Structure 1
């Protein structure tokens, strides 16, 4: 299968299949940096492009994301081809939301979402996370405290299943970038995210 990037050891004990967000593909700086930080802990990280992003890389034309059924079909194909005995799936924003709809896949042990898009910015009434209340598979959501797609104050009372762990990234926006005055750095927040994901993978695959 083309349009896949793999970091980490080929025969790693754990695999993380990592999907990109709506606006940028698998080679985006955030995706590459976080993947390499996770892989540095001995996890095999598999990145891939959804079909619309494959087309964009071929002709340079921006397109909106494919509809959910096509995105999920592409995600399932990657799971089928790259899952190992101990596999967690997840993604950035839209990629994480798609992963959360694949909880019934028998090949996976858990789901890790980075910046879950609970709603479009400024439109909290357009909720996209209702299904998180009924998830039964271990799920980690890493959310920037200032994320415009769902911030800390909005989410502290949000109905989540007992299987879902919500962890906030200090002063982070949708990509975990903090304000300079916060005393935190983007690199520190990305490292914190990677460490949380590695610990989660090790826990659910134990």
Structure 2
């Protein structure tokens, strides 16, 4: 499907994939900065959520839709989140809805919610608190303003949240946040010595989401 998005200076459309569940709610899923919505990690995650009864809507950000590799302005991503959530609500008007995103996609969801987007909760699949090796530049100033429940699914070896003490300090500033740790996991939840296909890794996170929304 194509979802219309009104950007500050243009009207565009982005691709989306809707999969209906059995009435447990809707999870809208955004990709990370370096891969689109068809990445096996996200398809595995979505299919596992479908099996648990959730409807899912995966989508591309405009830069990815246009074949570019680098993300565009944050305002474009925020506008896209608003448009895609509105589209998801039109498909399942009575359904509770959660916004989920891998890394960049999750951070953009949090900025959209801080900007006024209404969702029942946020799910971060590896929140990129800062660029690796640059903890002096955290991306967290908007998180305390978010009233919706937030679930951070994080690998203990993720370089984007080291040192962990800084990440835990950020969590403490949030109104309603919890963390599900993946022991030994990196930024994509890869665990040294335990090689798994990306779709298997993504699927393994779905039960954490189900427990969170319950």
TM-score (norm 1): 0.85
Aligned match for 2:136, one of 125, 128, 131: 125
SS of equivalent to 1:17: strand
Per-residue CA shift, 1:166-203, capped at 9, x if unaligned?
A: 221111100001010xx6867775444211112223x3
Aligned match for 1:177, one of 178, 186, 190: 190
Number of aligned residue pairs: give it: 193
Greater fraction of residues in strand: 2
Give the whole-Å Cα distance in 2 for the aligned partners of 1:119 and 1:112. 18
Q: Aligned-pair distance for 1:140?
A: 0.5
SS of equivalent to 1:142: strand
Q: Aligned-pair distance for 1:37?
A: 1.2
Task: Extract unaligned runs of 5+ from structure 1.
Answer: 57-61
Per-residue CA shift, 1:72-93, capped at 9, x if unaligned?
A: 1111111111123310112000
Residue 155 of structure 2 corresponds to residue 144 of structure 1: yes
What is residue 155 of structure 1 aligned with on the other side?
Answer: 167
Conserved? CA contact 2:44–2:203, under 8 Å: no
Q: Aligned-pair distance for 1:137?
A: 1.0
Conserved? CA contact 1:135–1:164, under 8 Å: no
Give the whole-Å Cα distance in 2 for the aligned partners of 1:113 and 1:184. 22
Aligned match for 1:71, one of 68, 74, 77: 77
Conserved? CA contact 1:169–1:189, under 8 Å: no
Give the whole-Å Cα distance in 1 for the aligned partners of 2:147 and 2:78. 19
Residue 200 of structure 2 corresponds to residue 194 of structure 1: no
Q: Aligned-pair distance for 1:35?
A: 1.1
After superposing the two structures, state which structure 1 stretch, 134-143 or 109-118, moved more. 134-143
What is residue 91 of structure 1 aligned with on the other side?
Answer: 101
Conserved? CA contact 2:129–2:140, under 8 Å: yes
Give the whole-Å Cα distance in 2 for the aligned partners of 1:189 and 1:82. 25
